[in-house]
Amino acid sequence: MRQVLLLEQKVNDIENFFSSTNKRQNNMDKGNSSTKDKDKEKHVPSIKKQNKVATRREAAAAKRMQDLMRQFGTILRQITQHKWVWPFMQPVDVEGLGLHDYYEVIDKPMDFSTIKNQTEAKDGTGYKNVREICVDVRLVFTNAMKYNDEKSDVHVMAKTLLEKFEEKWLQFLPKVTEEETRREQEEAEAQLSMQLAQEAAHARMARDLSNEILLLHVLNLLKRLNLLSFQLYDVDVHLEELREMAVKKFRKMTTDEKRKLGAALARLSPEDLSKALEIVAQNNPSFQATAEEVDLDIDAQSQSTLWKLKYFIEEALEKQSKNSGSTSGNENHNNKNRRKQESCDAVAKASKNKKPT
């Protein structure tokens, strides 16, 4: 009972230590704002704020594009008011005109009434930018030129109107290019800002985790020093909770780390290997840890399972190394005693065989 009380006191001392450390750290953060890393974090907007900024930026860009589309509408009106545009204002009457091979020649029919409907659509199915409208306007005329003979009136009318449209489009194009360049620059800046926000968030998370991870190591140390001989249930539960918390917040394990983890598994003793397979089975009910032949796919395991395995293997190999050193020391000692005994026997035998003078 006395040992249990002593253990509880040590755990309380550790918790008080980290509690006071957190308070001192918070006070230092408030009073020491000149520290370079923390000052950088202070001026980096949060991820939530970056998302709000991105939403406003997208809305502003969409509004500017709508303004461009309205300006482009002037070009459309000029084209659709031309005296030769009447064959292209409505969809081609394929059945009425007996054009039975029309859909075999033309992949995507297009006309100006369809373009108008797409421009005015309010359900989200309309055009998103000016270039989409430009593509469909060209399609109206190129379809007519493709299906009709180049000497026909419809072909000549379509070719003439397409040339007029291309002239007006070239005059309008600098505005479109300017907006697209601005959009690309804004997206690049937003991507950089989001990356900085994520890095700052990870730095804060790492700082918050530092005390928890340190407590985890201290509790493990106490356990290795046999100070936790009574294996208090609540201490073990707290240790496992901290381990789970650390595993969930850790980064994703790299391919090289997975390879090293697989190699380390092969160095475990049979008993420790069985325990490692049980860890895999805890988060993977379909995994048969006790089967005669076990096929373990490292890449298929969750990050939580991989980090649990890493912790366990490190501790197991450390114990194996200590036990191996102890065994090697005993063998050396026995070898020395054996050589000493053999030397003594040899001296005794020589003395026995020596002839008196």
Given pLDDT bands bounded at 50, 70 and 90, which one contains residue 340? Answer: very low
The span from the CA of 273 to the CA of 316, in Å, is: 9
- Cβ burial, residue 322 (10 Å; 0-12/13-18/19+): exposed
Identify the DSSP state of 194. Answer: H
Say which residues have a Cβ less than 8 Å from residue 46's Cβ, sequence separation at least 6: 197, 200, 201
280-311 burial code (b ≥16 CB/10 A, e <16): bbeeeeebebeeeeeeeebeebeeebbbbbbe
Q: What is the pLDDT of residue 343?
A: 45
| pLDDT score at 352 | 41
∠ CA 275-293-288, rounded to 5°: 55
Q: CB-based contacts of 224: which residues, under 8 Å, 6+ apart?
A: none
- CA dist., res. 313 & res. 242, Å (int): 18
Give the pLDDT confidence score for residue 86 in this predicted structure: 96
Summarize pLDDT for 238-265 with one digit per residue, the tens.
766 776 666 556 678 888 888 988 888 8
Residue from 144, 153, 46, 24 nearest 89 by CA: 144
Q: Is the pTM of this model over 0.85?
A: no
pLDDT tens digits along 174-222: 999 999 899 888 888 877 877 777 777 777 776 766 666 777 777 777 6
Mean pLDDT, to the nearest integer, of 76-94? 95
Domains of the chain: 48-215 (1.20.920.10), 253-290+298-321 (no CATH)
Cα–Cα distances (Å) from 139 to 112, 125, 134, 142, 300, in that order, read 10, 19, 9, 5, 49
More confident residue, 25 or 323: 323
Burial class (CB in 10 A: 0-12, 13-18, 19+), 133: buried
**Amino acid 148: pLDDT:** 95
Arithmetic mean of pLDDT over the chain: 77
Residue 102: predicted pLDDT: 95
- Vertex 195: Cα angle to 191 and 198 (nearest 5): 140
How open is the CA angle 270-273-279, to the nearest 5 degrees? 150
pLDDT digits (tens, 9 = 90+) for 328-337: 555 555 555 5
Mean pLDDT of 297-310: 84
